[in-house]
Amino acid sequence: MTLSSKIALSLGVLSLLLAVWALLLARSRRKLIRRGRDLSAEAQAANSRVQAAEGRARAEVQKRETAESRTQEANTREAELLDEVRHLASQRLPALALHLISSHHPVPGLLHKNLAGSEAGQLLDALPEAVSGIVLKERRRIDAAARAALRGATQESQALSYRLQTNIVGLQHEFSAPPRLTQTLLESDHLNEQNLRLTQRSAIVCGGWPGHVRKDTYVSEVVSGASSRLRGFERINIVSRLSVSNIGVVGRAAEPVAVVCAELMANALEHSRDDLMVDVSLIQTGNGSVCITIDDAGKGMTSEALTRGRGLISGEQQEVMLLELGDPPSMGFAAIGRLVADYGLHVSIDTSSPYGGVRAVVSVPENLLTSIDENATPPSVLAPQAAVAPQAHKRPATADSPAPAPAHSPAPTAAAELPQRRRRFSATATNDDAAAAPRPLDPEDTGAIWSDFQSGLTSGRSVTDSE
């Protein structure tokens, strides 16, 4: 074999080896590429699995945080609700009970303002309203039962008191009784009058009628009769400034007017010292009504009491519960308010008394007034007489009397001469001195006065309770 053949064979073998090596390299490369792809896919899958695990972990953390937040919120809400329930039981409901007694006691609201508008807040606010409605309904039922029971008891007591009064008046007509017995009968009559006033006031507040029927009565007799029902009536000074003396109150309104005046005068006597007088004036106004003005010199009324009293006597409250009148109940103003609403009277109270106390004014409208024939039914001698307008009396001229002064004095002639003030002589001084002089007592006149007094009592009490 030649050298060239050997070289060619070697080159062929070398080429074959190179081809095999290239094939092996290519196959190895493909394996490496495939393995890289597999590793990359595995890495991506692992990365995806890691990301998914991280997402799940984050979701778990978020879920746990949400659960913790909800748990904390629920605990906070539960604590707020418990606080509101405690606040409702310890503060709001007791304040509501006081508010139902007096509106001056406020009812607190929710303790946590963030509950306002929520369902729980609405329920918590609705509970006091429901309790208030239930309590008021029950109070009205109980108060109505109490008023019915008291009304029945007062009607029976009134009837017995009127019978007792009739018996006492019958005994008073026995003039042969000794003076001490007569005085005792008068005192018993007065005590019975006071008892009747209290019973009558309670009956009126409870929905009953005054229980006494009158004929047309003089205004002055109505007022003086009202004062005779009171303990301390001697401290009441009644002055009539009526222009005419025959003004009377119609029969259906005479007793209500007397009750109103008696309660106002009793209030004036109660709130002033025992040594102070109570002035009562009768005045006829320009619109035809008659005003009865009661002035006392007491301590007056507080603004709260004045507001409450005005509300009671206005007659605007349809129903006044006994529980609202205090313990023991003060029924005077409540009775006045019911009579004002039933008969159309007008009553006002304020602190403008000229003596520093309280002034009360009872206005009797023209439709409740009438004219009474004084000849057929003369007024009582104990009633205040109507005031007479003063008249100027001229002094009779005499020879020694000086000439009347001219209407206008001449002007002074010198600077040092000043106008002189001249004293005016009273034309009625002599008459006043004569009236002030004590008159001797006449037994016949005194007997006639007492006879008229008994006649007035008999005519005023002849009609008793129709029940």
Q: Given this model, what pLDDT does residue 132 score?
A: 85
Q: Given this model, what pLDDT does residue 388 score?
A: 56
CB 250 within 8 A of CB 369: yes
Using alpha carbons, select from 317, 324, 361, 321 the residue that is nearest to residue 338. 317
Q: Given this model, what pLDDT does residue 386 score?
A: 66
Q: What is the DSSP-derived secondary structure letter of residue 88? A: I
Separation of alpha carbons 466 and 214, rounded Å: 12
Q: Given this model, what pLDDT does residue 12 score?
A: 80
Q: Given this model, what pLDDT does residue 360 score?
A: 92
Q: Are strands 290-295 and 247-249 parallel, antiparallel or unpaired?
A: unpaired
Separation of alpha carbons 160 and 280, rounded Å: 32
What's CA 361's distance to the chain center, in Å? 19
Q: Given this model, what pLDDT does residue 443 score?
A: 52
CB 168 within 8 A of CB 189: yes
Q: Given this model, what pLDDT does residue 439 score?
A: 47
Q: Given this model, what pLDDT does residue 452 score?
A: 62
Residues in the chain where the model's pLDDT stays below 50: 392-394, 397-439, 441, 461-467
Separation of alpha carbons 228 and 265, rounded Å: 11
Q: Given this model, what pLDDT does residue 411 score?
A: 41
Using alpha carbons, select from 360, 154, 188, 168 the residue that is nearest to residue 265. 360
Q: Given this model, what pLDDT does residue 260 score?
A: 93
Which tokens in the block code for residue 206? 């409870």
Q: Given this model, what pLDDT does residue 290 score?
A: 93
CB 233 within 8 A of CB 274: no
Query: Which residue's entry shows tokens 């095999």?
Result: 20
Q: Given this model, what pLDDT does residue 187 score?
A: 85
Q: Given this model, what pLDDT does residue 258 score?
A: 92
Separation of alpha carbons 125 and 114, rounded Å: 13
CB 445 within 8 A of CB 133: no
Helices (H), 206-358: 219-227, 251-270, 303-313, 332-343
Q: Given this model, what pLDDT does residue 444 score?
A: 54
Q: Given this model, what pLDDT does residue 318 score?
A: 64
> Strands (DSSP E) along 275-434, which ranges?
278-284, 290-295, 346-350, 359-364, 369-371
Strands ordered across the beta sheet of 346-350: 236-240, 278-284, 290-295, 359-364, 346-350
